[in-house]
Amino acid sequence: MNVLEVDQLEVTFFHGKEGNKVVKDVSFAMKEGEIVGIVGESGSGKTQTSLAIMQLLNETAAITGGTIRFCGNEISSYTEKKMQEIRGKEIGMIFQEPMTALNPVHRIGQQIEESLKLHTNLSKLERKKRAMEVMKLVELPNPEIIYHQYPHQLSGGMRQRIMIASALIMEPKLLIADEPTTALDVTIQAQILALLKKINQEKKLSILFISHDLGVIHKLCHRVVVMKSGKKMEEGDVEEVFHFPKEDYTKELLQAIPTRRMSFRKRRKEGMQ
């Protein structure tokens, strides 16, 4: 069964009477338990695609074509009230910079439990118990202490784990991760990728992972969608796309990976000898 089906999606930004399409006829699907990456440079439309799925587009933007189906239900035409019923409950989302997503004046525990307060009738004690469980799931040390702390007291990597915990607390069927490791150093980035892979394997959680880095996509994802200027350029198994890219743009993205660039230069040098 497909958890997500995006069919000929179009997203347009409006400036007065004029419109600028930023997502153009994009289609892809995700199976249950699958990790799919969307990769492309800034302005490729990858983030707008993810925001369209969640109906979190800027007020000047709108879905102007195509459909989005989640677990068989067309959600692209849902009202905001209806989207609130599944947003955070059945579809979770984590963002690039957790410090801007977390509220600086609220304690960590309050923020992790926010979806539970919105979507359940659990008592305060039951909410805390569930928060402790999910904090352990994302491998936060000393969850009892962190529960009472504020975002500024934690490192970037720990804040991102908090965001993941918040997104997972309702046990959603789909997690959308918009560049969640971009602001982190290489070591912490690797830890977050390993954590997402572990959660995917243990919970059979479907993950839509947005990134500009094809190297990161290769480490985590099963399949990849390559986007440029709002269009889908290529789609396929991540190993196939990584080793046998069909489009020139995909090849250029691969050349941006340092190890691949060095390998390319080595092969080129050997060919000249």
Cα 69 versus chain centre, distance: 17
**Do 260 and 253 form a contact (C-beta atoms < 8 A)?**
no
pLDDT at 163 over 50: yes
Compute the distance between CA of residue 122 and CA of residue 221 in angstroms, rounded to an integer.
35
Cα 259 versus chain centre, distance: 25
Instruction: Give the number of C-alpha atoms closer than 13 A to the C-alpha of residue 82, restricted to the C-beta side.
Output: 7
Reported as a pLDDT band with limits 50, 70 and 90, residue 97 is confident
Pairing of strands 223-228, 231-237: antiparallel
Reported as a pLDDT band with limits 50, 70 and 90, residue 100 is confident
What is the arithmetic mean of pLDDT over 266-271? Answer: 47
User: What are the b/e assignments for 190-217, b being 16+ CB within 10 Å?
Assistant: ebbbebbeebbeeeebbbbbbbbbbbbb
- Which residues face 177 on adjacent strands? 94, 209
Reported as a pLDDT band with limits 50, 70 and 90, residue 260 is low
- SS3 category, 223: strand
Q: Which residue has the tokens 């982190």?
A: 184
Task: Write down the mean pLDDT value for the chain.
Answer: 91
Reported as a pLDDT band with limits 50, 70 and 90, residue 8 is very high
pLDDT of residue 16: 84
Q: What CA dihedral angle connects 93, 97, 102 and 104, to 10 degrees? A: 180
pLDDT of residue 203: 92
Q: Which of 85-89, 98-102, 109-113, 173-177 has the lowest mean pLDDT?
A: 98-102
The reported pTM is 0.90
pLDDT of residue 186: 87
pLDDT (tens digit, 9 = 90+) per residue, 215-231?
899 999 999 999 999 99
Superfamily of domain 1-90+175-186+208-273: P-loop containing nucleotide triphosphate hydrolases (3.40.50.300)
pLDDT at 267 over 70: no
**Do 33 and 206 form a contact (C-beta atoms < 8 A)?**
yes
Q: What phi-psi label fits residue 172: left (phi over 0), alpha (psi between -120 and 50 degrees) or beta?
A: beta
For the chain, the structural domain boundaries read: 1-90+175-186+208-273, 97-171
pLDDT of residue 259: 61
